[in-house]
Amino acid sequence: MTESHRRAADHRSTSLPQETVDALQRALATEHAAVWVYGLVSAFLPNTVSGPLEDGMRTHTTRRDEATRMLKDAGAEPRPAEAAYLTPQPVTDRASALTALTVAETDAAAAWRSVLEHTIDATARRAGLDWLTDCAVRSTRWRLFAGQRPAAAALPGGV
């Protein structure tokens, strides 16, 4: 296969059921929110967490872009980011910043679990499983950093 054929095949439209598109839209919305939260909390956390903070920002930005691509490939118009998002409480210090991060990861885990529940598409299922797992691990790390016990959710992505 030539390079131009490979690129064309990679960008062809794939039809997804509406319930899968809706679940991907919700997941995209949580990724937009997570990127925003990571930017917000950076002013309230010490340099000792700059590595995990930057990694989280990169990861959610990549996921946001990948979810956008998946929706476009399915012929859907991806939802744009909001100008701002509500946090569980005003972010004013280290504790509230860590709470916001934990909630962002928990919300994203729930959204990616929903993708798993609403699709049979192999690509969407792989993304949902991988990203649900990553959100659960990342959420546990932030809870550990905050000193919360238990740190791990019993059922990541569950309500």
Q: What is the pLDDT of residue 159?
A: 61
Contact 5, 79 (CB under 8 A): no
CA distances from 108 to 2, 5, 32, 77, 90 (A): 38, 35, 10, 20, 20
For 116, residues 6+ apart whose C-beta sits below 8 A from its C-beta are 125, 128, 129, 132
pLDDT in tens, the chain (159 residues): 334 333 333 444 568 999 999 999 999 999 999 999 999 999 999 999 999 999 999 999 999 999 999 999 999 999 999 999 999 999 999 999 999 999 999 999 999 999 999 999 999 999 999 999 999 999 999 999 999 998 888 778 876
Contact 119, 20 (CB under 8 A): yes
Contact 119, 128 (CB under 8 A): yes
Q: What is the pLDDT of residue 123?
A: 92
Q: What is the pLDDT of residue 3?
A: 44
What domains lie within the chain, and their CATH numbers? 20-146 (1.20.1260.10)
Contact 102, 146 (CB under 8 A): yes
Q: What is the pLDDT of residue 96?
A: 97
Taking Cα atoms as reference points, which of 31, 23, 16 lies closest to residue 131? 31
Q: What is the pLDDT of residue 150?
A: 86
